[in-house]
Amino acid sequence: MTFMDKAKDLASKVGDKATQVAGELAEKAGPLAEKAKPLAEKAKPLAEKAGPLAEKAGTLAAKGVSAAASSVDKATGGKYHNRIETVTTKLGEALHRDSATTPTTEHDSTAPTTEHGGSAPTTEESPDQS
């Protein structure tokens, strides 16, 4: 038996085993797929409710970031303003990353801003409060 004959024989055995395993898995998957259908129907309304809740959470998180940035900036006397602004901007980008796919208003006054007017990517700047 040559090397090629051995390789063909081994490939045939592996193919047969793969076909057998795939058949067994398909038999097991059928009933599970049937069980998943009603669950998917139940999940649909929950997913629809999750979108606005996630958006609201993002808005609240942005307010929290803004308040924290302002407090830290004030506590440090503006010494770390640029670093705080950089972190605030990056957090704002992360919080609003998915909002580009959903309709939003033109101005988002809830985006994180620092006390000195630095802000995450928004169309509004907060007034300089120093």
Q: What is the pTM of this model?
A: 0.44
What phi and psi, each to the nearest 5 degrees, are found at residue 44? -55, -50
Write out the two tokens for 88.
């605030």
pLDDT digits over 63-119, tens only?
A: 999 999 999 999 999 999 999 999 999 988 888 775 555 444 333 444 445 444 544
Q: Say if CB 105 and CB 120 are below 8 A apart.
A: no
Q: Average pLDDT for residues 49-63, to the nearest whole number?
A: 88
- Sequence ranges of the domains in the chain: 46-124
Contact 88, 69 (CB under 8 A): yes
Separation CA 70–CA 62 (nearest Å)? 12
Half-sphere exposure of 20 (CA within 13 A, CB side): 6
